[in-house]
Amino acid sequence: KAGVTQTPRYLIKTRGQQVTLSCSPISGHRSVSWYQQTPGQGLQFLFEYFSETQRNKGNFPGRFSGRQFSNSRSEMNVSTLELGDSALYLCASSTGTGPEQYFGPGTRLTVT
């Protein structure tokens, strides 16, 4: 089975812009979770989508949003980018009925 894929792998954006990141889960998986990884804060949970519905949400501002499509692919959007949004954004895929998650390679976002 193919693993989790994320596009793009690298992004450079300017403060104030918006960005959309994409994640394709493992075939048959219905849950996609998103995490932000920074040197200072570590790995933090953003949100989870299961069957096109947001099922769980972390403590991030409303500038961070997401959605999931009927084929389970997910997108994450960050509006009005801030310098502090520079991070590795990781997507994780799971069946949705079990606890283990499988991660993609991440998207490295740099905000200048």
Q: By the criterion CB under 8 A, which residues form the site for other proteins?
A: 4, 6, 31-33, 35, 42-43, 45, 48-50, 55-56, 58, 90, 92, 94, 96-106, 108
- Give the nearest distance from C-beta 99 to other proteins in angstroms: 3
Q: Which two tokens stand for residue 1?
A: 């089975």
Judged by CB, which is closer to other proteins: 44, or 79?
44
Judged by CB, which is closer to other proteins: 62, or 98?
98
Q: Which two tokens stand for residue 24?
A: 């394709």
- Give the nearest distance from C-beta 105 to other proteins in angstroms: 5
φ and ψ of 77, to 5 deg: -120, 135
Interstrand relation of 42-50 and 19-24 (parallel, antiparallel or unpaired): unpaired
- Give the nearest distance from C-beta 55 to other proteins in angstroms: 6
Residue 45's nearest CA partner among 73, 66, 20 is 66
Q: Which two tokens stand for residue 7?
A: 């596009």
- Give the nearest distance from C-beta 52 to other proteins in angstroms: 14
In the block, residue with structure tokens 């499509």: 69
Judged by CB, which is closer to other proteins: 13, or 108?
108
Report the alpha-carbon distance of residue 68 to residue 59 in Å, rounded: 19
